[in-house]
Amino acid sequence: MYFPQSLESSAFFVSSMDENRTKVYNIDKSIIDKATIMDITLHQLLFRAYHGQSNMLQPVFEELGLGRGQPKILKYLLSFGESSQNDIASYFNVDPASISRMAEILQKNGFIERVEDSGCRRANKLSLTEKGRASAIRWNEECRKVETVMLSGFTKEEEENLSSYLKRIIDNFKKEENA
């Protein structure tokens, strides 16, 4: 790898997020050299992939006014309709209290509303507002764009294999959790 003398110890990585925004990262050349000779673990690869996805979606979080974890609740409600917090927590295998905290914020910001559960007067279900529905649809569109970037150059078979491997990893974590 050749670096001009003035940039001997640095390399630049340019990432175009869209036609109006470009990020330039200054990377220490020694890190690049180490990365080429160092074995990168699966854990590191998964983290890097997650980090890349998060970086691409960050502007959408900000534009929609959503926080981490909140889009999945909107997406769930878009797919399944009115639901209890416990159903959502169970689906995502998370603590019901964390869903409750996110639901409070989503309600306060106008994305969801609580509706009385006809089967139990003491319980509420969560439902999307029009703002929540529009945000969930937009979020899904942006996620599809990120997937297109992530899977660029993959064959259909490779995409299916990757999906199958990731599902098996998730299942392994569930088995370990229940052991």
User: How many domains is the chain built from?
Assistant: 2
User: Per-residue pLDDT tens for 107-161?
Assistant: 999 999 999 877 776 778 999 999 999 999 999 999 999 999 999 999 999 999 9
Question: What range defines the domain where residue 46 resides?
Answer: 41-179
Q: Which residues contact 79 (CB under 8 A, 6 or more apart)?
A: none
Count Cα neighbours of 58 within 13 Å in the Cβ-side half-sphere: 10
Q: What is the CA radius of gyration of the chain?
A: 21
User: Per-residue pLDDT tens for 109-118?
Assistant: 999 999 987 7
Specify the pLDDT at position 116. 83
Do 16 and 67 reside in the same domain of the chain? no
| Partners of 22 in beta bridges | 16
pLDDT confidence tier of residue 34, bands split at 50, 70 and 90: low
Mean pLDDT of the chain: 83
Asked if 77 and 125 count as a contact pair (C-beta separation under 8 A), the reply is no
Do 62 and 90 reside in the same domain of the chain? yes
Do 54 and 108 reside in the same domain of the chain? yes
